[in-house]
Amino acid sequence: MDKLELETLTEQVAMLARTAGSFIREEGKNFSLEKVEQKGFNDLVSYVDKGAEKIIVNGLAELLPQAGFITEEGTRSDDSQELTWIVDPLDGTTNFVHGIPMYAVSIALARGTEILSGVVYEINLDECFAASVGAAATCNGKPIRVSSPDKLADSLVATGFPYDDGGKSDRYLNLLAHFLKNTHGLRRLGSAAVDLCYVACGRVEGYLEYNLQSYDVAAGTLIVKQAGGRVTDFGGGENYLFGAEILASNGKVHQGLLEAITDHFEL
C-alpha cells in the first residue's frame, strides 16, 4: 500500500469515525447509568460501545476486506492476516457514562507492530486527528505539530490510572508527585487516545500510562510520531503497542521523562 493509497484510506476512515461519533453523540443525550454493564471493577461498557463498534467494523470490512480486527468489545480474527484494524469504539467510556465531555473513537491500521494509519475522533470538540505513514499529522485537515518546550519545568504532563494497577500504585503515585513538583502540572483526561493527540498538537508536552491495551493507543502513537514527537515504552524501547506501557512526548523532554520514570517508578 503506497503513500497515496494510505492517505485516501485514512480520509475514508476519518469519515467512518465521524459516523460512529455521531451515533455516540446522539445516544449520549439520553444515556443513564442504568444502561451500563461492568466487564470488571471500574471497567465499564454499554450498548453504545457495542453499537459504535458494529458501525466501525462493518465499515472497515467494506474498505479493506482482507484485514483482520482487534477491538475492545470483542471483534477479533485469527492472526493469518497481514493487516489488522485495531479499534476502540469509545475510548473514555467512564467519562461518557458520567456525562464528562472527553471521549473518542480510535481506529488504526497495523502491519504487525507497525501502525500504517491512525484516526482519533474526539466527539465533543468535533476534532478529528489523523495520520498515515509518510504524511503529516492533522486535526480537521490542518497540519499539527508537537510543542517546543525542552525542559520538564516548562511542561504539562498527562497521565491515566489503570483499572488494575498490578501492585504498582504506590510507586506510580511517587512518580506523579515528582511531576507535580517539577512541571507545570498533571492532567488526567480519561482517554488515552485523546492524551496522545494532545501531545501531537502541542497541548501537553508528555503523556505516560501503564496497563493499557493496543486499542487504547494504536492510532494515537502514529499521530504523535507524524507530528514530530516520540513514543517509547517506559524503558525507552519500542514495546509500547502490546507492552502495556507508553510514554509519548514532544521529543525534547523525552529523556527527562524517562529519567524520572527510572528514578521514581521502575525497580
Distance from C-alpha of 36 to C-alpha of 53, rounded to nearest angstrom: 16
Residue that terminates a domain, selected from 118, 143, 168:
143
CA nearest neighbour of 243 among 264, 267, 265, 221: 221
Number of domains in the chain: 2
- pLDDT digits 0-9 by tens, 204-252: 999 999 999 999 999 999 999 999 999 999 999 999 999 999 999 999 9
- pLDDT digits 0-9 by tens, 62-75: 999 999 999 987 66
* Confidence check: pLDDT of 6 > 90: yes
**Domain check: are 174 and 227 in the same one?**
yes
CATH code for the domain of 224: 3.40.190.80
**Domain check: are 192 and 67 in the same one?**
no
Residue that terminates a domain, selected from 110, 143, 176:
143
**Domain check: are 251 and 195 in the same one?**
yes
- Whether the CB-CB separation of 89 and 71 falls below 8 Å is answered with yes
Q: Tell me which of 19 and 41 has the higher pLDDT.
A: 19
Which H helix or E strand runs over 252? none
Please count the other Cβ atoms lying within 10 Å of the Cβ belonging to residue 163: 12
- pLDDT digits 0-9 by tens, 117-148: 999 999 999 999 999 999 999 999 999 999 99
Residue that terminates a domain, selected from 143, 174, 197:
143
Distances (CA, A) of 143 to 60, 107, 110, 224, 236: 25, 19, 22, 12, 27
What is the domain range of residue 187? 152-264
